[in-house]
Each structure stands twice: as C-alpha cells, then as structure tokens.
Chains A and B, each alone.
Chain A
Amino acid sequence: MQTETGKKLMTGAEILLECLARENVDCFFGYPGGVTLPFYDALYDSHIRHVLVRHEENAAFAAEGYARATGRVGVCCATSGPGATNLVTGLVDAMMDSIPIVAITGQVHSKLIGSDAFQEADTFGITRSCTKHNYMVKNIDELPRIVHEAFYIASSGRPGPVLVDIPKDVFQARAHYTPVESIHLPGYKVFTEGHAGQIRRAAQLIFEAEKPFVYAGGGIIAANASAELTEFVELADAPTVTTLMGLGALSAAHPNYISMPGMHGSYAANMGMTDCDLLIALGVRFDDRVTGQLATFARHARVIHVDIDPAEVGKNRNPDIPIVGDVKRVLQKLIKNLQELEAEFKPKNAAARARWHAQINAWKAERPYDKPHSETDIKPQHLMEEIDRLSGGQAIVTSDVGQHQMWAAQLIRFNEPRLWINSGGLGAMGFGLPSALGAQMARPDKLVFSICGDGGFQMSVSELATIASHALPIKIIVMNNGYLGMVRQWQTLFYNNRLSAVTLDCFPDAEKLAAAYGFKGRTIDKPWQLTQALEEAINEPGPYLLNVKVTPDENVYPMVPAGGSINEMVFCPEPVLS
C-alpha cells in the first residue's frame, strides 16, 4: 500500500484500509457479504491479515479476545443486514466489560437505505444502545475522520465498542485522500487526572483506617495500572480482592491478595469486604454480583471510589470520596501522597493493622475454596486445579459462561493482567472459543487454554474450523457435566430440583470431532487420566480438544443467593458418607 497518499485518488475501501493501517491494525476478524465486496476486493492487495470466522458473532468475540489479551483495539467486520445483527451480542458484551473494539459494517447503497432493500437492516439504529458511539458514513469525504474518531473513542476514557456503518457506494466512491491529523470531539469528556484535594483526603483516610480493603476491578487492567496497584496495596498495607474482570490485576501470588469477591467469591474476600472500615474501590462498578444486597454491603466502611466514568461514581453506592479519573494517574498521585504522609501516620495504627491481617488470614484458613477430589471420577475443581498447576499463573485462559467459569475464576491463579479472558458483565455463552481464537492471534507466543462448558462450546463450535484453518495451538478444554450446569444448580437450589430443559445429551465424540477438522482430540473421565491428558494437549503443537467428563451434580460454592448479603454465604453441604 502506498503511504504517500496526499494526492492519490482512492476508493472508500482503500481509504478505509489506509486508515486501519495508520491505526496499526495488523489483523481483524470478519465475514464478507454482498455490500462489503468492494472492501474485500481492496483487502486482496493489503498486508493486513483477515481471519475468516464462521459466524459474525464470533468475529466480535474474537476481536474482544484480541483486545483483552493486548489492550489494543480489536477490529471486526460484517456485511449489512444479518451480518450486522449477528455482531450485536459481541457489541453488548464489549460495552458491558468496557473492551475497545471497532466494528465495521457494510450497508446497502445510500439510495436504497430505508427501502427494505435486500439485506438491509437499520444497523445505526439497532446498535445505538449497544455501542459507546456509532456512525453511519454518508460521504466518502468524512470516512477518514470517522474511522480515526472511532478508534480514538473506543480506546480512550472508559473503553468500549464503536461501530462504523458504511454504505456500498461509499466503499466504491473515489476521493483524494488527505490524512486526518487531528480529531476534534468537543463534547467527548475524558477525565483523567483526578481531583488533587480528594486524592489528598483519600491518602489521609487510608492511613487513618484500621481495616482498609482494596476492591480492584477491570478498570485496573484497562488502564494498564497493575504496577501502580501493586505498589499502592503495599504502601496502603491493605488486603486486596480483584473482581471477575480484574483477575490478574494484582498477582495471585502477592501476599496481600485474597481472591475474587461476590456471589461465588471466597469466604475471606466477602467477610473482609463486609467488615472493613475503609473500602478502596479502584476501577470497579459495584456490580450486583459483587455487592449482593446493597443496603448491607460494606455497611461500616467509608468508601473511596476511583473510576474514569463519572456515571459509575455514586451509581450504586455513594462514596465518601469520589475521584473521577484514570486509575493509573490517580494511583500514581495517591502513591506520592501516601509516601509523604507515611512517616507521620504509619506507626499510629500498626497494631490495628496487624490484627486486621491476622483476621483476614484466619478467614482464609477457616474456609478456603472447596477442592474435592474423588478416586473414581473427575471433580470439576480437580480439573481447574490441574490447569492452574500446569499454567503456573502464566497461560492465557479464556472462559465461556457458567459453572466452569466460576470454578476457573476461583481456582486458576493469574500472576499478570490480560491472562484471564471472560464475558463478565453480559455472561454471553459462546464467548470462550472465539475469544481464545482472538487472543491466540494476538499472542502467538502464549499458551492459550479455552475452557468451555459442554453448552457454550456447542454455541460456537463452528470456530473449530477457523482454529484448524489457522493452525492455532489452542487447548480447548470442555468441562463436560452433561448439563447446563449453572442453570441446573439454580433449579436444584431454588426450584425444588425440577430440572427443566437443562440436560445436554448427544455431545459429539471429541476425538472424531477434532479429527473431522484435522486435529487431535480425546475424551477422559477418570481422575488418573487428567494430568497426562492435559500434558498431551499442551505438548501437541497444534490445536487440541480435550473433553473432560466431570461429576454431573457438583454445585459452585460458596454462593450468595441473589439479593442476599455477601457475608451470608451458602457452603457445600457436608457430603453424606456412603
């Protein structure tokens, strides 16, 4: 592609590719169709890699996997009508988890818009509420500006999905391309620095607190603020939980680290949150799955809430100290303030702090996560423990949605950010496989596990073809319990065990299924096979499908029933001795 394009007459499709190149896009995920033909024709000559997924929803999930693994903007592309509507779930998912992706959709010819033309859908209208911002390009002259704005909006402030809808005639039109040098969005408010006075007050509160507690989330990962978080929790001398979206933000090996909090969080995490006198909330949104009943959540605590999105501060819990800013910048300033105040304050409450850490450790010892093993069957927790041991806190693990997701989040430890990739806010089944595909494309150097349930795996099973076609060495681990396990768990616990529409029979033979796509697969159901089978999968240079039949009736504990207080957890009933 020519880079000195100041005077060159280019088509809209060529201009789009030029803009993508300027945004450093090296690969994207898509599915062509009628109105994107001019774009795909131009792509034929481009150095940008295109990954042909087998369903547009998976293009969006793969772009998310790419973005989550790298922090860079993920890109997906679909044609008009059904292509665009298939992207919607992925867009909502990226919106809920604040993931930067740009979706490019084709639209019917400008003259046909509104005429119910073939493969026409009101993509601009449909995606308004599931994107951070969206555009319809009506003129080739505005195309470069819009593409760069889309990348800027997706990746700045609170990240999120942005969609650009491009009619066929805009792809085909020709114009003199002039590079866009600056973006002007006067109404786009990004607050980064945080209020100096509030930061100072926060630092004082942290030193005055006897029982401080850090509640860190996906915002730390989005802001690439793990190093700052680590320094901060050490200086603040505070026990720390990371949410489902924040796993790896603080290394699981760090002495201050407890676990994930919330509905399936650990006893120590939830007790600590309930009992603390100062809750330091960093890049989190007080999600209902974390807080349980809001009225009783951390009820004795003063709250410091740092978030880049002003609408999150005070949404669910009114903080004593609201700080709107980029959590990385705010933590840097907070660290500086703490260092200045350290000499004056630290000695005063050392005894109280020691009691607090001892209390946390006592809770940790009192009720660790259940790790049942069996001589005859594979317990799902056993599977996760083995994956944890083999990954050593270093592998990328993508998860689908359900019981396996919770067990993986509980038992697999992450020593770095951007290793744990899951659909947290939306809980979109089918996410696991395509997000692994995106993550492995972005990080060819990494061992990638895709942990799925037998339900979610079959929602995006079509991507086995994409994985095989690109020879991506993803280790697909199906935790197969023959049920839609999480729904089955709720039916067992809250619906008198009336198991309605949750049985998944007819799971395909994994070895034959993998062989049909040209790679290796295997089914195991005995605990003594587990380690060897996982090692075989890891040592295989290509993709591997490991179907692990686990005990079908296991429930995820501890569990805070929906709407309950998080210190009132339900634990696994003592097993009946047979």
Chain B
Amino acid sequence: MIQTISLLMENKPGALLRVTGVLAARGYNIESLTVAKTLDPELSRMTIVVDVEDRLRTQVIKQMSKLINVLQAVDMSDAPSVIRDLVLVRVRCPQESRAAVLKEAEIFHARVIDSSTDGFAIEATGEPGKLDEFIEVMRSYGESDVARSGAVSMSLEAKKLRLQPPVMTPVAVP
C-alpha cells in the first residue's frame, strides 16, 4: 500500500542516503521524494511516497526513526495531514483549442506561466489525484510534457518532538 512518510532531519551530508537506504535495502521503489530546509536552516523536512507491504509499514518508520540524523519520522497515512503536489505542463495545442485549454486551466485553478504560438506552459498545484486528472485533460488537447515536484506533506496536528539532551564526554585522561 502507498505510504506517505514525513521526516524531520538534520541537514547533514549523507542524511538523504541513510533515509533512502532504509527503503533501498528492502527493495522498495520510491514513488516521489521531496526535501528542503525548514524554518531552522539546520533541519530539513522530507516527504517520501513509497509502496510498502502493509506488515512492514511500522518497521520502516522505526528503522528511519533510529537514524541518528532523523529527529522524527511520521506515517502521514494515519494522521490528519495535507498533501500537495506541483506540476508544470507544457502543452502544444492548435489555435482553435487555445481558448478551451485556458478554460480548463481555470477550472483546475492552474496558472499560465508561458504562452507561445505552439501552446502553453501551465503550473498547477493540488492533491496528487487532482493533478493526475489535470494532466489527462491537458493531454487530450495535444502533445504534452510534465514535470512534477512529488508530494509535499504537512501534518495538521503538532506532534511533540522528543529530542535527546546533550551528554558529557569522558573527561578522564589517563
């Protein structure tokens, strides 16, 4: 079943590889992955969408939580959350259907970001399923190409972060 995982992690070299390694080591293919800095520039938030066998869903979260660089790993599939995706569509369309394309874009609250005699480049954000529909509609007007950001998610409830306090190093010198 498709699982959406949200991670709060330290922005350190190799951290991305450690997280994806948990999935790769078990042979899971990542559907989408987004990562960027948070308000605290030393931390990043990552959203991973991945198809995981049901019985291993909690195991995957636990393995990610164990990583030293990961502050929090949450299965968004179980929690109230919002998930959004961004898509850029370049559609070639003949003169006579331009008005119709613009109308469709409006229906999906999409924005035209480039216009030429060949067609349009259009930006849309929304739930991933909605964007699938939008892409289908655009393709019906002519040759299209798309670039998607992948899902970005945010939990709607503030989960308490449990952080490890500092510890002392051994001061004993032989």
Contact = CB atoms under 8 A, between A and B. Distances in A.
B10 A187 contact: yes
B158 interface: no
Contact of B68 (A23, A24, A185, A309): A185
A24 B172 contact: yes
Contact of B169 (A21, A124, A152, A310): A152
B172 A129 contact: no
B99 to A, nearest CB: 53
Interface of A: 3, 21-24, 26, 47, 124-125, 128-129, 132-134, 136, 148, 151-153, 179-190, 309-311, 314-315
B26 to A, nearest CB: 11
A186 B164 contact: yes
Contact of A187 (B58, B68, B166, B168): B68
Contacts of A26: 174
A128 B166 contact: no
Contact of B62 (A22, A134, A310): A310
Interface stretch (B11-19, B125-133, B135-143): B11-19
Contacts of A124: 14
A311 B65 CA distance: 9
A151 B167 CA distance: 12
A311 B59 contact: yes
B42 to A, nearest CB: 10
Interface in B146-174: 162-164, 166-174
Nearest to A133: B68
B69 interface: yes
B172 A184 contact: no
Given A181-B169, A311-B59, 6 more contacts: A129-B21, A132-B68, A182-B166, A187-B10, A311-B65, A315-B59
20 contacts: A3-B173, A24-B172, A24-B174, A128-B14, A129-B25, A133-B68, A134-B14, A152-B167, A181-B171, A182-B166, A182-B168, A183-B167, A184-B166, A187-B9, A187-B10, A187-B67, A187-B68, A189-B66, A189-B164, A311-B62
B70 interface: yes
A182 B167 CA distance: 5
A523 to B, nearest CB: 44
A395 B113 CA distance: 77
B63 interface: yes
B71 interface: yes
